[in-house]
Amino acid sequence: MRSWLSPDIALDLGTANTLMALQGRGVVLDEPSVVALQKGTRRVLGRGTAVGKLARQMLGRTPDSITAVKPIRNGVITDFELCEAMLRYFLQKASHQTPGFRPRVVVAVPGSITPVEKRAVLNSLERAGAGRVYLIAESKAAGIGAGLPLSEPLASLVCDIGGGTTEIAVFSLGESVASRSLRTAGDELDEALVEYVRQHFSLRIGPQTAEQIKIRIGSAYPLDQEQTTEVRGLDIVSSVPRKAIITSEEVREALKGPLMTMLGGIKSVVEQCDPELVADLADTGLVLSGGVALLRGLDLFLQEQLGIPVRVAADPQRSVVRGAAICVEHLDQWKASLEAGAGDL
């Protein structure tokens, strides 16, 4: 009866996108984590509907009277009020709740979250309309969503690379053996490309343009056939719009710095493990999830550097929310471990 009146919700509260899955229905919402405001006020445009995809279209294109804001940075809430407004809109859009009933929510959070940041997540969700809130580490949710045997006495290495954080963890017997959370992820890749274009082409471009270039021709490993694309921006010297041609080799060079930081994070986690678990990784390898896992050749790059098998999870952008959704479907079984994990992620 409760699941019919107020279905439980799985939530991936990401820096770039927020995803929701409903009990028994799978993923029902995938929207950018962006809110559009009337400048100088805290009022959301369009009677509170300028959220998500509509607001993302406004990034970098707003007049002086409007501002588009991301209330989540590096995987944590930086603006409580706007995050609450965004979550309330998403909850209403994704699920028709019966008045008087509040849904239970399983939300994935970064492993490096502080008690203050954790409280911000709990308060924002409760004020947005959620009932009981359970926390799960993003790396654990990604491993569950990717179908890894986390509960077995076998090492499972997961690397979830989102927009704001890179979550790395080794699991065995259902618990994290070693883990690390980096604030170097998709946003840093875009910023590195913005800086590269500024230095080598004397062009100023925005993060949105950099992201499109990264998606179009970006790679972490040499391509069979290298590609080129046109980049448009503002000439730093003449202050007029200008075009230039950038190659996939140049994009790869621009992304090298953040990728090496992520590689160093993975190596540091592996070094924390006992020799028996490291031996397991020679067979089980590494599983990649998150939006950056779609970067071409990332698996080949990491496989060459680490010397272990590397594979990309099926539909990597939804691995975390799928894992949280599995916990929602069997919440009575997972409840104790989620409650225990809420204090020590």
Q: How far apart are CA 249 and CA 225, in angstroms?
A: 11
* Residue whose token pair is 């990728």: 259
Per-residue model confidence (pLDDT) at position 340: 42
How many Cβ atoms sit within 10 Å of the Cβ of residue 15?
Answer: 23
Helix axes 298-306, 248-271, angle to 10 degrees: 50
> Do the beta carbons of residue 145 and residue 158 sit within 8 Å?
no
Residues 6+ apart with CB under 8 A from 44: 35, 36, 37, 50, 51, 82, 85, 89
SS (H, E, C) the chain: CHHHHCCCEEEEECCCEEEEEECCCEEEEEEECCEEEECCCCCEHHHHCCECHHHHCCCCCCCCCEEEECCEECCEECCHHHHHHHHHHHHHHHCCCCCCCCCCEEEEECCCCCHHHHHHHHHHHHHHCCCCEEEEEHHHHHHHHCCCCCCCCCCEEEEEECCCCEEEEEEECCEEEEEEEECCCHHHHHHHHHHHHHHHHCEECCHHHHHHHHHHHCECCCCCCCCEEEEEEEECCCCCEEEEEEEHHHHHHHHHHHHHHHHHHHHHHHHCCCHHHHHHHHHHCEEEECHHHHCECHHHHHHHHHCCCEEECCCHHHHHHHHHHHHHHCHHHHHHHHHHHHCCC
Nearest in space to 308 (alpha carbons), one of 159, 138, 161? 159
Per-residue model confidence (pLDDT) at position 2: 57
How many Cβ atoms sit within 10 Å of the Cβ of residue 2?
Answer: 12
Per-residue model confidence (pLDDT) at position 342: 44
Q: How far apart are CA 342 and CA 115, in angstroms?
A: 10
Per-residue model confidence (pLDDT) at position 277: 93
Per-residue pLDDT of the chain (345 residues; tens, 9 = 90+): 555 567 889 999 999 999 999 988 889 999 999 998 887 777 787 766 688 888 887 777 767 778 888 899 888 888 888 899 899 889 888 876 666 678 889 999 998 888 888 999 999 999 988 888 999 999 999 999 999 999 999 999 999 999 999 999 999 998 999 999 999 999 999 999 999 999 999 999 999 899 999 999 999 999 999 999 999 999 999 999 999 999 999 999 999 999 999 999 999 999 999 999 999 999 999 999 999 999 999 999 999 999 999 999 999 999 999 999 999 988 887 777 775 444 444
> Do the beta carbons of residue 141 and residue 108 sit within 8 Å?
yes
Per-residue model confidence (pLDDT) at position 94: 81
> Do the beta carbons of residue 181 and residue 110 sit within 8 Å?
yes
Hey, what are 127's tokens? 């004020």
Per-residue model confidence (pLDDT) at position 332: 80
> Do the beta carbons of residue 327 and residue 136 sit within 8 Å?
yes
Per-residue model confidence (pLDDT) at position 345: 43
In the chain, what are the domains? 2-33+70-140+319-342 (3.30.420.40), 149-183+258-317 (3.30.420.40), 186-254 (3.90.640.10)
